[in-house]
């Protein structure tokens, strides 16, 4: 947080406070009560979740090592109308236990290493926790995809288990978003669709068009591909490439005479084809429908201020 303030990502004068609910309080309900008082004065809330066993995925299991406190922090923040993010710092399976959270980030390792590797250095916390906080508040452009399926949590007779019959977040789910102040997002959806259509419908039928019209089309297609490959391309470049490719496509001339590219594809006689590309927006969260849990991370990443950061800390309790 001090680095974010020093770098101007968070405006000067903004204050923050960290509470270690695992060590500062003897009773977890007392911790929740104290945190709720802080939330009333906060502008944003980050609560760390450190869960290493399936039994602690039960949000009603009263424990410093379970999802009990983070769940109640999320509910209190929602009730107060304050943006709240959960930062998972151990195994990522606890992200399925917070359906009420507006945003969830998985940092994979409270000691700075991926716990699935079986590496557990105990000397000090590694860089993952501060890096996760910096990402949430927009200090870094960031992105990531789940390397595993995250399954639902099932609670029966007071015991939580991982329900492998239901996937909440599938392998590959993730977000990508820019650093605060990095500029507006660039929407490449239409250009990607135009390039895809050209590759699938025009190029395989090159023999139908005159060489002169193909030359103009090939030039526009290569320019469009170059813009899509340029991570620094701005929206004006994307729009110009799309306009050029659209015009070149419309200008394709059939060898037998007449314009042949205006309609886009050249289907076989008696058939009709239609291709719909998924929407993608570069430099914004690449999510479809993530049930509201991870989809709000971009909004928090662009936040200008923070109230109180709530840190779980480590605990030897199973």
Quickly count: other Cβ atoms within 10 Å of residue 179's Cβ. 18
DSSP 8-state code for residue 200: I
Q: What is the pLDDT of residues 297-307, one digit of tens each?
A: 322 332 223 33
Closest-CA residue to 217 (of 191, 252, 192, 243): 252
Question: Considering the entire predicted model, what is its pTM?
Answer: 0.57
Residues of the chain with pLDDT under 50: 123-124, 262-318
Q: Which domains does the chain have, with CATH numbers?
A: 2-182+286-311 (3.40.50), 186-282 (1.20.1270)
Distance (Å, whole) CA 195 – CA 304: 37
Contact 307, 36 (CB under 8 A): no
Q: Which helix (H) or strand (E) holds 297?
A: helix 297-301
Query: What is the structure's pLDDT at 157?
Result: 92
Quickly count: other Cβ atoms within 10 Å of residue 62's Cβ. 11
Contact 317, 52 (CB under 8 A): no
Query: What is the structure's pLDDT at 107?
Result: 86
Query: What is the structure's pLDDT at 257?
Result: 56
Contact 285, 298 (CB under 8 A): yes
Query: What is the structure's pLDDT at 267?
Result: 37
* Backbone phi, psi, residue 120, to 5°: -135, 70
DSSP string, 50-80: ---SGGGG-TTS--TTSSHHHHHHHHHHHHH
Query: What is the structure's pLDDT at 283?
Result: 39
Contact 6, 12 (CB under 8 A): no
195: left (phi over 0), alpha (psi -120 to 50) or beta: alpha
Query: What is the structure's pLDDT at 164?
Result: 94
Query: What is the structure's pLDDT at 156?
Result: 94
Distance (Å, whole) CA 88 – CA 148: 15
Strand partners for 144? 175
Query: What is the structure's pLDDT at 60?
Result: 94
**Token digits for 189?**
């959806």
């Amino acid at each position: 947080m001090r680095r974010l303030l020093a770098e101007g990502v968070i405006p000067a004068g903004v204050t923050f406070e960290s509470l270690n609910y695992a060590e500062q309080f003897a009773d977890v309900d007392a911790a929740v009560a104290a945190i709720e008082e802080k939330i009333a004065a906060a502008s944003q809330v980050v609560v760390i979740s450190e869960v290493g066993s399936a039994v602690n995925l039960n949000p009603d299991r009263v424990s410093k090592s379970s999802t009990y406190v983070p769940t109640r922090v999320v509910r209190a923040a929602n009730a107060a109308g304050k943006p709240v993010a959960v930062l998972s710092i151990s195994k990522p399976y606890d992200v399925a236990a917070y359906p009420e959270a507006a945003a969830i980030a998985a940092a994979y390792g409270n000691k700075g290493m991926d716990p699935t590797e079986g590496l557990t250095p105990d000397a000090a916390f590694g860089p993952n926790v501060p890096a996760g906080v910096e990402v949430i508040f927009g200090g870094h452009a960031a992105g990531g995809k789940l390397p595993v399926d995250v399954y639902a949590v099932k609670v029966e007779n007071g015991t939580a288990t991982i329900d492998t019959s239901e996937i909440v977040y599938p392998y590959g789910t993730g977000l990508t978003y820019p650093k605060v102040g990095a500029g507006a997002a660039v929407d490449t959806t239409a250009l990607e669709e135009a390039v895809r259509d050209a590759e699938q419908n025009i190029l395989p039928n090159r023999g139908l068009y005159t060489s002169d019209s193909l030359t103009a089309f090939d030039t526009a297609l290569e320019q469009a591909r170059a813009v899509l490959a340029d991570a620094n391309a701005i929206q004006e470049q994307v729009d110009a490439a799309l306009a050029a490719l659209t015009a070149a496509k419309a200008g394709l001339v059939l060898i037998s005479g007449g314009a042949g590219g205006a309609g886009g594809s050249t289907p076989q006689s008696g058939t009709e084809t239609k291709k719909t590309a998924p929407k993608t927006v570069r430099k914004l969260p690449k999510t479809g429908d993530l049930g509201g849990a991870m989809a709000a991370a971009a909004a928090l990443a662009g936040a200008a201020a923070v109230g109180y950061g709530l840190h779980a800390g480590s605990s030897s309790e199973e």
